[in-house]
Chain A
Amino acid sequence: MQNQNAEKAETQPEETGRPAKTTLSARSLSKVYGSGALAIRALDNVDFDLYEGELVVLLGASGSGKSTLLNIIGGLDRPTSGKVFFDGTEITAFDDSALTRYRRDHVGFVFQFYNLVPSLTAEENVALVTEIAADPMSPADALRLVGLGGRLTHFPAQLSGGEQQRVAIARAIAKRPRVLLCDEPTGALDSQTGVIVLEAVERINRELGTTTALITHNVGIAAMADRVIRLADGAIQDVSVNTDKIAASEIRW
């Protein structure tokens, strides 16, 4: 999937006019849960692109399909129909083991509830990922990147929510993924702690150039994005380019 092919150029949308290349693109994505009368259309014919190095915020009410979209492009879930390309390779055609490789090599996840392994220290939680990565940074370096250089040997129970989430970010980026996918990373945090977490995400995006998609239902957070994509009822409502993007540290809610 490393090989670049011609398809990539075509999937680059014209309207932004940016010279960036597409890292991830989704075409006509639909996801239906259940069947018959009970069927829920979580995604309805969605087209979506993520460009190299950008930070995109996915905005939408609860239940609008944000997590479903993120899970599908991250290779955690499969669409009912439609295709997803990573660097021009169709990952929706992958079998389970190829999908696993895709996640292992290229994707970093951050979830709302941190999902740290409670029986492992901060450093060990990060090591969980660096152990299986091809070219990881050291767990300590990853934790320093999120400002937790001094908490290596703490267990999750000994860390605050914001700190746990930053461990989760360190864990997601330690393998130097191409894409960082964050599903409501501040959802369980107060504004002050949330900002610290967002600063970490911003720093990763800026310093490592990691293509980042961040889900939130908090409109304020959209200000730190390069682009903002709004979802409603499983469809993309609009896409806007932030011309006056602000630093995460200036966000308040």
Chain B
Amino acid sequence: MHPLDRKLLRDLWHLKGQVLAIAVVIATGVGVMVQSLGAIQSLQATADAYYERYRFADVFCHLKRAPKSLVPRLADIPGVQTVEPRIVEYATLDIAGFEEPATALLSSLPERGKPLLNQLALQSGRLVDLAKPEEVVVNEKFAAAQDLTLGDTVQAVINTQKRTLRIVGIALSPEHTYAIGPGALMPDDKRYAIFWMGERALAGAFDLDGAFNDVTLTLLPHTPPEGVIQRLDRILAPYGGSGAYARKDQISNWFLMSEIDQLATMARLLPSIFLIVAAFLTNMVVDRLIATERGVIGLLKAFGYSDLEVGWHYMKLVMVIALIGVVLGSFLGAGLGQWTTSIYAQMYSFPFLLFRPLPDSFLIAGGLSLLAAMVGTASAVRRAVRLAPAEAMRPPAPPSFSRSYLAQTGLARLLDQPTRMIFRQVFRWPLRSGLTVIGIGMSVAVLIMALQWIDSINRLIDVYFVAAQRQDVTVSLTEVRPPSVMRDFENLPGVLAVEGQRNLDVRAHLGPRNKRMQISGLPARQGLYLVYDDAGGAIDLPPDGLVISTKLAEILGAKTGDRIELEVLEGQRPIVEVPVVRVFNTFIGYPAYMRLEAINRMMHETNVVNTVHLRIDPNQQAALFARLKDMPHVSSVTLRQAAIDIFNETMAKTVLVFVGMFAGFASALAIGVVYNSARIALSERGRELATLRVIGFTRFEISYILLGQSLLLTVMALPVGCLIGNWLALGMAKSFDTELYRIPAVIEPSSFGYAMLVTLAAAAISALMVRRRLDRLDLIAVLKTRE
């Protein structure tokens, strides 16, 4: 081995603590990148394969009723490959031993048996026997949550009839990888089920013989869905079509894809932070090494080593450090990746999981880390290369300190000598101190970014579920009912208050833009389900006109005063123009509201409703639920408390794990930066500190001088970190802006507190590690060696 390479290895060994600290920071960056890229690739590959193998449809449309003879016309639309009509409805379930009512989405299986599209991945049992209308196949998540197996029975109110259904199969479907109920924000597997039943059975129950009320289509390769959707809507309009939508707007797929998008953001942002800090740390260490090796560098040059050879020597050192980080990070990333993918596997229902971290995720992460470390150290190495040999042989001039601005203020007189030394040291190298402060600050920032999710989600729950919703139960009806239905609900046991709502499917047009959406009709002043601006509170609905959310305003490009054309997709399908009266802010969806009477006037109907909100007496809950389970015309029942519980449960399971992981990352950052800066200070000031010991300073005093510097830098980093964290977290929250929900940008003071505490603790640990070295400082040896 070349003696220089041997020197390199020994230098690395000598610097092992620092090398490891940097490697850990790089490893974290690489780990997160490999993890996220791996998870992205795995999720995408799994989804692609699943969708392909089980023939997930490209276009979906629900309608009221159309004869099957219409199917060939749909198939004739240019670009359409396969058309599958079906029947889709909701039913209320009564599960033995489960007090609350649950909701099932009923979906028909064709007469032939196996569906053409959205095929089922049977996990156990079989598809239904078409001659036996009581047979159902259920989704696996629901079966697991309710502890149901093959042969078990479930009571269901299907349309107006109570039926007993028997489970003959347990399956997954590409349509329901993320099985989310109507109006829900998260899957509730106990209370929301997917039931597949024979077409004849459903047709009989819903009076749809020879007809269908839902259709899914696949398109020929490379056919954009927009044109097909337009033609489809035109054909289905007379049959009560409620507007077709493409796969990208299909709810389960939408969640899956936005998860992938979020991972992609992670894969960009976090590793960048770590790699930048790592680059700075490597620079700091190499710069110091080069300073101590001035003599060696001069010597190598005196003996005829070229600039290139000298530079290459130090670059190799940097590359080895980075490679250690990359190797550690690859293992970390592979582990984390497998673990996150398994979390996704639990969250989403896939029949199989392709964990395929492609080699390129490792190569990208490794390459970027190497590059970052090399770019980061380029200036230090260039300095080594530039060093004139004669210059290098001379010891460097002692750094010049000056009585700073600080020293001239009265403050300086208050400080004792060691404290003054700390301040001078910090301000003597403002760039290095500044970078150290930012490096430690990044640790605080990363934590704030993680903790902010908890704060934001808590705020979301507070605003959406607590402030804006006062009902306990929301019942959606299968169709609009006269106002008398409100009295039926009032008469149920334990019902304290009832409020009706009418939802209307429309396509809104403004200029060139249009959006398929729902308008909700509510009383002028709502008592249970509030129209709620998340900044300004409850809103009274004006007698006429639309009150729309900012998200909808953004989608349509609408503002107050604009007249929106509503193409109603139900009933007589009138087309009306309604002015926007007010725009309000909400975190969830893109709702639009009108006064209930105004909607009904528009539809030439009198006070009909299709949704009922109830406030109930908790003591009579059981009796009420028992009645709700048997009620006809009920399509789904949603419990507000259950939704909150699910939110909190999911938070505890996923977000807390994610926060814990980030705390680990942040500690790695803090330890990496503090340990390295303290070690470098020790290396630079070892002689000085030893001299102080010789002239009588105590161990504690010199520890104070050295570690006080780290402490001062850490304390300075806390507010800086809070600022960066605030900025990053709010930026992240803002970037998470989708039609389904926005993340409120909130950071509680306690999150700043926790973030600073974790960073301080990590800094203290690394300071203690350096302090142990300080205690072993060999006075004689330090004084004997020439710098």
Contact = CB atoms under 8 A, between A and B. Distances in A.
Interface of A: 71, 74, 76-77, 96-97, 100-105, 107, 109, 111, 113, 115, 117, 119-120, 124-125, 127-129, 131-132, 171
Contacts of A129: 303-304
A113 B388 CA distance: 18
18 contacts: A71-B389, A76-B298, A76-B301, A76-B388, A76-B389, A76-B393, A100-B304, A100-B305, A103-B301, A107-B304, A117-B3, A119-B14, A127-B3, A128-B3, A128-B300, A131-B2, A132-B304, A171-B303
A185 to B, nearest CB: 14
Interface stretch (B4-12, B178-186, B600-608): B4-12
B34 to A, nearest CB: 34
A70 to B, nearest CB: 9
B303 A128 contact: yes
A120 B3 contact: yes
Residue of B4, B304, B305 with highest tally of chain A CB at under 10 A: B304
Nearest to A128: B3
Given A113-B295, A119-B7, A120-B7, A103 B393 contact: no
Closest 10 CB pairs of A and B: A104-B304, A119-B10, A77-B390, A103-B304, A124-B3, A76-B390, A127-B3, A71-B390, A76-B389, A128-B3
A115 B7 contact: no
Interface of B: 2-4, 6-7, 10-11, 14, 295-296, 298-307, 309, 388-390, 393, 786
Contacts of B300: 128
Residue of A77, A97, A119, A131 with highest tally of chain B CB at under 10 A: A119
Contact of B6 (A101, A111, A120): A120
Contacts of B7: 117, 119-120, 124, 128
A101 B296 CA distance: 18
Contacts of A120: 3, 6-7, 10
B3 A96 contact: no
A115 B4 contact: no
Contacts of B307: 96, 100
B304 A76 contact: no
B415 to A, nearest CB: 35
Contacts of A109: 299, 302-303
A105 B786 CA distance: 30
Given A74-B302, A96-B307, A104-B304, A113 B786 contact: yes
A157 B772 CA distance: 23
Contacts of A119: 6-7, 10-11, 14
B410 to A, nearest CB: 36
Nearest to A171: B303
A11 B61 CA distance: 101
A243 to B, nearest CB: 34
B302 A131 contact: no
Nearest to A123: B3
A104 B3 contact: no
Contacts of A96: 307
A131 B5 CA distance: 12
A6 to B, nearest CB: 28
A49 B94 CA distance: 110
Contacts of A102: 304
A100 B306 contact: yes
A129 B306 CA distance: 12
Contacts of B296: 115, 117
A92 B388 CA distance: 15
B741 to A, nearest CB: 58
A113 to B, nearest CB: 6
A124 B305 contact: no
B306 A128 contact: no
Residue of B11, B303, B393 with highest tally of chain A CB at under 10 A: B303
Contacts of A101: 304
A118 to B, nearest CB: 9
Contacts of A128: 3-4, 7, 300, 303
A103 B10 contact: no
Nearest to A172: B303
Given A115-B393, A129-B304, A171-B303, 18 more contacts: A74-B302, A76-B298, A77-B390, A96-B307, A97-B306, A100-B305, A103-B303, A103-B304, A105-B304, A107-B302, A117-B296, A119-B10, A120-B10, A128-B3, A128-B303, A129-B303, A131-B3, A132-B305
A104 B305 contact: yes
B295 A100 contact: no
Contacts of A103: 301-304
A15 B222 CA distance: 97
